[in-house]
Amino acid sequence: MENAKGKAITVALAGAPNVGKSTVFNLLTGLSQHVGNWPGKTVEQKTGEFRQGELTMNIVDLPGTYSLTANSAEEQIARDYLVNESPDIVVAVLNAASLERNLYLVAELIELAPRLVIALNMIDVAQQQGIRIDSEALARTLNIPVIPIIARANRGLRELVSQIEHECGTVSGLRDVKHIEYGNEIEGVIDHVAGLLDDGVTAPYPKHWAAMKLLEGDGQINKLVKGRMPAERWPAIESYLRENESAAVTIATLRFEWVGMMMAVAQQKRRIGQVSLTERIDRAATHPILGLLILITVLGAIFWLVFSIGVPIQKFLDVNLIVRAREFIYTLSSMPWWLQGFLADGVLSGAGTVLTFVPILFFFFAAWAFIEDTGYTSRAAFVTDRFMHALGLHGKSCLPLVLGFGCNVPAILGTRIIDSPRARLLTILLTPLVPCTGRMAVVAIIAAAFFGTATVLVSIGIIIFSLLMLVIVGLILNKFVIRGESSALIMEMPLYHVPDLKLIGTVTWQNILAFIKRAGTVILAVSILVWLLSVIPNGNISDSLLADIGKWLEPLGRLMGLNWQMMVALLSSFVAKENTIAALGVILSGGGGDFTQQLKAILSPAAAVAFLVVQVLFIPCVATLSAIRQETGGWRWPAFTLVFQLVLSFSMAILVFQASMLFQSAL
Amino acid sequence: METERTEEYLEAIYKRQLKETPVSTSSLAVDLGVSRPAVTDMLRTLENKGLIDYKTSKGAALTRSGEERALAVIRRHRLWERFLTDVLGMKWDKVHEEACRLEHATSPDIEKGLSGILGDIDTCPHGHSIPDEKGNIKPEKTTLISEFRPLQKVRILAVDNEDPRLLRRIEKLGLRPGAVVTVLKRNKDGLLDIEFQKEKIALDNVTASVLTAEPVIETVLPMEEAEIDLGELPPGESAMIKTCGGGRGSLGRCLSLGFTPGSVIKMVENYRRGPVLVKVHDTEVAIGRQLAEKILVVRKEAS
């Protein structure tokens, strides 16, 4: 712990979701934070540093959890961290406005945490709700320091830091915390279970604690012990656990009784009949019809914002930066042709074009983070749960799916909020069917070239078609492909509150950064590869390997009215959806006339519609596939998505084209 | 004589342990009214008998067998106290001393006879739990009445002192274990105002620091015995949770979100087939309908 420069301590931040833990973390760590994943898990791990004088605090932000029983990956991570890494101190961040709920976690933390300090956050929100908390009385009764803070306004953090320092400075450290009395009966049952276990089978967890978790039906501990105990002795343990199934309920009840005791000491009763602002808003926001209208309005507002501000900026950047830069490169006659091509067609029109989407994504992510921080997204999940359920999804699935309209990649990462593994997988597989901004841009440009005044109608039609396919595919996957029971929704509705702009900034920045990183790596690499294919062997695209591939695919293309150029344009969308336009630009650059005229020369209106269909349903881009691989932990599901969407997109486009041909000949 | 002293010590250590572990020599000296060297001597003897773990620098803690002995004495003591008040009609401020003598001269047969006469009484007249014959004791809550917030309704659990004068005073006020009072406020002069049977009482510091209490949790009077599932509860109505079903996994989630038996739950939003929105432990929680149908509740009487 001691080093030449001073003292370094490890501080773990624990707390339920919606308690402002991230705000506390951001305030303490500022720019020093590092965001990664917990080893072997798709749960975000945030670490950072806080320095003050001689003291360095290494701060670890544990995932938000309501308890420490492994019902979810988050809970498992939080408690494994406490057991394996034994931080010097745990700071429990509690929401003063829902103290009762939050104290349950404290009841569990005192069984595992070495030293504990409570940061009682949002005391201002609590006051607005008419809740008055006596933090001194709470501290006295718990025998744990309680520091009232308002993280949003950066108040109380200094006191929190000095309390942490003080606690870690005291030699014994361990306070005689008021533990929960489970009573002899339960203790007897716990001891009996512990007695059935061999020494060491529960390592690194304490045996007594593990025995209690077995009784509570903790899946992870159960698996661990089952795997380590001799097989012939397990049935006896299992049957004893089954006989004492009610112990889980008793343990939880006793914990809540303990919580009730703390509440009676610390919180003044609210006057009965007082209806909070949250409750009043919720009467509308969670209403099945009104709530849906509100949701549509909110989403409409987000899209309006994105398309009225983000899209023009994107276009501006594309025209003024990418196109100009390309033209400039081609004017440099001293540069060898292959370098010009590499820079202009490989780097700029591939990865460069993708980067121009940053403003669109910025507005989208920022608007979404804003909505999320107000507490509204839980209501959106609630309202959509009944529809999502038909697809085997969760109310919570609606959130990543909406995010998918911006970009599929963060949407797939966003599925982490879904706690049922099955619903999460389904959501991941359906996300690529949500038309992202890249695809919508292509739809808009192609539709504009063909349908004049009907452009908006056609575009909206295609998007609705795509979502319809999402529903149908969801029904099929839910029914036939993915096995298992769908699990029900259960989630806390946080109180509405004024969003924290700093936090929104951080979240948006992190999302954008991740997007830029992908554009700079995966997308850049594939852009260059496609460019290489388009110039090998002799620099002429119509004799290139890419053209060979396109021509080889032409028989398939003809079924939907597409020639080899269109097939190549489609293939290039694999790099990034918006690449279709860039690729068409390159391929058609040989002919005369502008882009629209050339397009009209090679495409019939029926084929144009077929192209739009195949384009929105086509295999996900590289970045999305790599996100799927990352989140599902293997190649199985990305491969499935690849094949499935290939078949789906081609068969739908063929269907549309052939049907319209039939229709035309009938006329 | 030797046995009696051993039992007195074990009893004292047990009671002290509820407040501090390990128990220091000095606090035992105070509790038993003897000198510290005498306590040290006796603790050594007890350690040799394997009844306590004793470290001179830290203090004493009961071993398993020591605790068993202590609980057996406490059982006899509290049974006698009950017998003396309930059967012989003695005042509760006099029974402690009598029981102190009787507890050491009680054969197992007498103990059985006592508990037979008293039936299923499980606390002494002062409100402390009586251990059962196997040595199991219900844990006691140790929160003092003075620690509660204003306007909290509490039930008095026990008097943590045997001083006859104090007991008489408490009896006069009517604040026997089981009495329900409302904590009003702490006055500037240190008195604690409470309301009991519509009357305001000012408790002095000593009294307020020996009465333990628990919050009175709103109980639900079942209107009809029939259990319904949560999905059937109309909006605006409250109910008490009876059981949580679902597999072990979802049970755990329900429990950690506060769906414990006995909790009061209020239906906020309940439309056909969709998820329901309920209020439990002061927070709104959304539950999918499937899961709501596995939670059984008893409806609260409409008031």
The verdict on a CB contact (< 8 Å) between B287 and A381 is no
Residue B107 contacts A where some CB pair is shorter than 8 Å:
no
Residue A171 pLDDT greater than 60, yes or no: no
- Say what the pLDDT of residue A2 is: 44
Enclosing domain of residue A137: 2-169
The verdict on a CB contact (< 8 Å) between A248 and B252 is yes
Task: Average the pLDDT over B250-264 and give the result.
Answer: 79
Interface test with B, best of A256, A292, A379, A385 (most B CBs within 10 A): A256
The verdict on a CB contact (< 8 Å) between A269 and B151 is yes
- Say what the pLDDT of residue A4 is: 42
Q: Which of B39, B62, B85 is the last residue of a domain?
A: B62
Q: What is the CATH number of the domain that holds A205?
A: 1.10.287.1770
The verdict on a CB contact (< 8 Å) between A278 and B283 is no
Q: Which of B21, B46, B62 is the last residue of a domain?
A: B62
Among the listed ranges A115-124, A582-591, B69-78, B289-298, which one has the minimum average pLDDT value? A582-591
- Say what the pLDDT of residue B284 is: 85
Q: Are both B241 and B291 inside the same structural domain? A: yes
Residue A641 pLDDT greater than 90, yes or no: yes
Residue A152 pLDDT greater than 50, yes or no: yes
Closest approach of chain B CAs to the CA of A169, in angstroms?
A: 22
Averaged pLDDT score across all residues of chain B = 85
Exposure pattern of A349-379 as b/e (b: 16+ CB <10 Å)? Answer: bbbbbbbbbbbbbbbbbbbbbbbbbbbbbbb
Q: Are both B150 and B207 inside the same structural domain? A: yes
The verdict on a CB contact (< 8 Å) between B214 and A261 is yes
Task: Average the pLDDT over A60-72 and give the result.
Answer: 84
Task: Average the pLDDT over A39-54 and give the result.
Answer: 80
Q: What is the CATH number of the domain that holds B35?
A: 1.10.10.10
- Say what the pLDDT of residue B288 is: 86
The verdict on a CB contact (< 8 Å) between A264 and B257 is no
Higher pLDDT, residue A181 or A508: A508
In a domain, A442, yes or no: no
Residue A613 pLDDT greater than 80, yes or no: yes
**In chain A, % of residues over pLDDT 70:** 94
The verdict on a CB contact (< 8 Å) between B256 and A489 is no
The verdict on a CB contact (< 8 Å) between B286 and A269 is no
In a domain, B115, yes or no: no
Task: Give the chain A residue whose CA is nearest to the CA of B290.
Answer: A488
User: At B42, is the pLDDT very low, low, confident or very high (cuts 50, 70, 90)?
Assistant: very high
- Say what the pLDDT of residue B303 is: 42
Residues of A in contact with B21 (CB under 8 A): 176
Residue B108 contacts A where some CB pair is shorter than 8 Å:
no
Q: Are both A106 and A14 inside the same structural domain? A: yes
User: At B43, is the pLDDT very low, low, confident or very high (cuts 50, 70, 90)?
Assistant: very high
Q: Which of A169, A196, A221 is the last residue of a domain?
A: A169
Residues of B in contact with A399 (CB under 8 A): none
Size of interface A-B (CB pairs under 8 A): 168
Q: Which of residues 69-98 of B touch A (CB under 8 A)?
A: none
Higher pLDDT, residue A588 or B294: B294
Q: Are both A104 and A153 inside the same structural domain? A: yes
Residue B128 pLDDT greater than 70, yes or no: yes
Residue A270 pLDDT greater than 70, yes or no: no
Residue B245 contacts A where some CB pair is shorter than 8 Å:
no
- Say what the pLDDT of residue A653 is: 94
- Say what the pLDDT of residue A469 is: 93
Q: Do residues A435 and A616 lie in contact, with contact meaning Cβ atoms separated by under 8 Å? A: yes
Closest approach of chain A CAs to the CA of B1, in angstroms?
A: 31
Residue A14 pLDDT greater than 80, yes or no: yes
Closest approach of chain B CAs to the CA of A230, in angstroms?
A: 24
User: At A1, is the pLDDT very low, low, confident or very high (cuts 50, 70, 90)?
Assistant: very low
Task: Average the pLDDT over B263-278 and give the result.
Answer: 87
In a domain, A652, yes or no: yes
Task: Average the pLDDT over B16-38 and give the result.
Answer: 87
Among the listed ranges A360-364, A484-488, B112-116, which one has the minimum average pLDDT value? A484-488
Interface test with B, best of A249, A399, A495 (most B CBs within 10 A): A249
- Say what the pLDDT of residue B160 is: 87
The verdict on a CB contact (< 8 Å) between B283 and A378 is no
Task: Average the pLDDT over A651-663 and give the result.
Answer: 92
Closest approach of chain A CAs to the CA of B266, in angstroms?
A: 13
At B182-228, the pLDDT tens digits run: 888 877 777 888 989 888 888 988 888 899 988 876 554 555 567 88
Residue A411 pLDDT greater than 50, yes or no: yes
- Say what the pLDDT of residue A591 is: 53
User: At A576, is the pLDDT very low, low, confident or very high (cuts 50, 70, 90)?
Assistant: confident
Q: Which of residues 158-197 of B touch A (CB under 8 A)?
A: none
The verdict on a CB contact (< 8 Å) between B251 and A141 is no
The number of distinct structural domains making up chain A is: 3
Q: Are both A6 and A135 inside the same structural domain? A: yes
- Say what the pLDDT of residue A642 is: 94
Q: What is the CATH number of the domain that holds A148?
A: 3.40.50.300
In a domain, A606, yes or no: yes
At A101-111, the pLDDT tens digits run: 889 899 889 88
The number of distinct structural domains making up chain B is: 3
At A492-501, the pLDDT tens digits run: 888 887 888 8
In a domain, B94, yes or no: no
Enclosing domain of residue B56: 2-62
Higher pLDDT, residue B119 or A41: B119
Task: Average the pLDDT over A159-166 and give the result.
Answer: 90
Task: Average the pLDDT over B44-72 and give the result.
Answer: 89
